[in-house]
A = this chain, B = another copy of it.
Amino acid sequence: MNEVEIGRSKRAVTGYAFDDIAIVPTRRTRDPEVVSTGWSIDAFQFEMPVIAAPSDSAMSPETVIALGKMGGLGVLDLEGLWTRYEDPTQQLAEIANAKDEDATSVLQRVYSKPIQAELIESRLKEIRAAGVTVAGALSPHRTAEFADVVLRSGVDMFVIRGNTVSAEHVSKDTEALNLKEFIYKLDVPVIVGGAATYTAALHLMRTGAAGVLVGFGGGAASATRKVLGIHAPMATAVADVAAARRDYMDESGGRYVHVIADGGLGTSGDLVKAIACGADAAMLGTVLARAAEAPGQGWHWGPEAVNASLPRGQRMWVGSHGPLEQILTGPSDTSDGTMNILGALRRSMATTGYSDVKEFQRVDVVANSYR
C-alpha cells in the first residue's frame, strides 16, 4: 500500500490517474493483425471491449443500434430524453444552442419532464428489432419504479448506474432497492456501478452482478470533485477493483465478474491504460459523443449534469470529429487519440507483444514522476 500521512490523525492511499501512468513495451513485438480485441460477457460476444455510456449526448436509439452493428455494446439511458419525449429533436437543439452560462439551467428544465413508461417500452423494442444486443440503464433510485417495464420490454442486459452505487443502501423509504434480491430474481445479467474501491466493488460483486462499473462516470464532463470533494484517480480504482475480481473469483469458486472502467476515458490512450490496469472493457462517453451521428451535436453531458438541485457536471464541447465507424476503427487523420480507437488498442497490444485483451491486463506500466 502506498500509504501517506495527510496529518497526524489522517492517512490516505496515493491514487494514480491514467495521465500519471503509461504503458511500457518490454519484450517481443507482434503484428497488429495477429491481435484480438474481442470481448465477451455472459453469453454475449463483442468485437471490441467498448460499452457506450448511457448519455443522451452520445446514445440515441439509432446510435445504440449503429454501435451494436459495429461490434460494440450500446446502452440507452432509460431516464434520458428519449424516454421523456416522443421526439427530443427540439430539446437537443435547445441544449446545443444554449449559451454557456445558461446550459445547466436549460438541461435542468428539459430533463424536468417526467419519464414515460411507454417510451421505455417502445425505445427498447426499436433496438431489439434491429437485431443488436439490447441494454438499458436506470439509476438505482428509479430501478424499483421502472424495472418491470424494462424487463417486460425485453432487454439482454441491465445497467444500474449512479454516481456511487453500493450493495447496502440506507433509505428513509422502506421500498428502496435491495440490489442482491433484485439481481437474484432477474433473468438477465446486470452491470452495476460506479464503485471505486476494492471493498465497495467486492460487495457489488457479491450481489451477483455480471459486471462492475469502476469510477463515477462523467469523465471530462463531471465536476463531482469540485462539488462533492469526491474523486477516484482511475488507474488506481481500476487496479483495486481488478484485485477484488481476483479475490471474489476465489471466494465464489470461479465466478468471473467483469471490471468496466467508467470515467476519465477521453482518448484511445486512456482505453489502453484502463485495460492495462485490469479492466475487461471500458464505458465510453466523451469518445462516442465526438461522432458525427451523436445526438449531442458536438456537446457532451452526463446524467449528473441535469440534477435539479445539485448538478455535478456540465455541458462540454467535444466537437464532431467524424463518423462513428471512423472513430472506432479508423482510418484516423489526427494524432490526438480521438480516432481509430480500436486500431490504437490493437497497435498498443501488438507493440507490447500481447495477443488478447485478458493477457494485456498484465502489461508493464510506468508511473510518471510528474504529469
Query: A: which residues have CB within 8 A of B?
Result: 1-2, 4-10, 12-31, 33-34, 104-105, 108, 163-173, 176, 195-200, 203, 223, 225-233, 235-244, 246, 267-273, 276-278, 305, 308-314, 330-337, 340, 343-344, 347-348, 351-353, 355, 364-371
B347 pairs with A310, CB closer than 8 A: yes
Interface centre among A165, A173, A199, A344 (most CB of B within 10 A): A344
Q: Report the minimum CB–CB distance from A337 to chain B (whole Å).
A: 4
Does A308 lie within 8 Å of B331, measured CB to CB? yes
A366-B199 in contact (CB<8A): no
Complex-state Cα separation, A196 to B370, whole angstroms: 18
How many whole Å from A301's CB to the nearest CB in chain B?
Answer: 10
Q: A200, B348: Cβ atoms under 8 Å?
A: no
- 7 new A-B contacts, CB < 8 A, other than A31-B170, A31-B173, A227-B344, are A10-B278, A12-B367, A24-B232, A28-B170, A197-B364, A310-B347, A311-B333
Closest to A108 in B: B333
User: Complex Cα distance A278/B7, Å?
Assistant: 10
Q: Would you call A12 and B169 a contact (CB within 8 A)?
A: no
Which B residues are CB-close (under 8 A) to A312? 335
A355 to B1 CA separation, bound complex (whole angstroms): 29
Query: Is A6 touching B16 in the complex (CB atoms < 8 A)?
Result: yes
Q: Are B343 and A225 in contact (CB under 8 A)?
A: no
Taking a contact as CB atoms under 8 Å apart, the answer to whether A164 and B25 are in contact is yes
Q: A15-B368, A29-B170, A236-B366 are in contact. Are A331 and B344 (CB under 8 A)?
A: no
Question: Is the beta-carbon distance between A240 and B8 smaller than 8 angstroms?
Answer: yes
A228 and B21 contact, CB distance less than 8 A? no
CB < 8 Å: which of B24, B199, B229, B240 contacts A276?
B229
Identify which of A268, A335, A365 gathers the most chain B CB atoms within 10 Å of its CB: A335
A366 to chain B, nearest CB (A): 4
List the 4 closest A-B pairs by CB distance, nearest first.
A7-B239, A22-B231, A229-B272, A8-B243
Closest Cβ neighbor of A35 among chain B residues: B170
Whether B228 and A348, one on each chain, are in contact in the complex, defined by CB atoms closer than 8 angstroms, is: yes
Inter-subunit contact B246/A9 (CB<8 Å): yes
Q: Assuming A269-B229, A309-B331, A312-B335, is B351 touching A9 (CB within 8 A)? A: no
Q: Are B366 and A15 in contact (CB under 8 A)?
A: yes
**Given contacts A166-B353, A365-B10, A365-B12, A228 and B31 within 8 Å (CB-CB):** no
Query: Of all chain B residues, which has the CB nearest A268?
Result: B227
Most buried by B among A4, A271, A340: A4
Contacts of A13 in B (CB 8 A): 366-367
Most buried by B among A26, A225, A310: A310
A223: nearest chain-B partner, CB-CB: B335
> Is A8's CB under 8 angstroms from B226's CB?
no
Can you list 5 residue pairs at the A/B interface with Cβ under 8 Å?
Answer: A7-B242, A27-B199, A28-B167, A309-B343, A311-B335
Residues of chain B lying within 8 A (CB to CB) of residue A347: 228, 310
Given contacts A104-B335, A340-B309, contact A9 B278 (CB under 8 A): yes
Q: In the complex, are the beta carbons of B314 and A332 less than 8 A apart?
A: no
Q: Which of B5, B17, B25, B343 contacts A368 (CB 8 A)?
A: B17
Which residues on B sit within 8 Å (CB–CB) of A331?
308-310
Measured in the bound complex, the distance between the Cα atoms of B167 and A27 in whole Å is 8
Taking CB atoms, residues of chain B closer than 8 Å to A267 are: 226-227
Contact of A235 among B6, B20, B34, B228 (CB under 8 A): B6
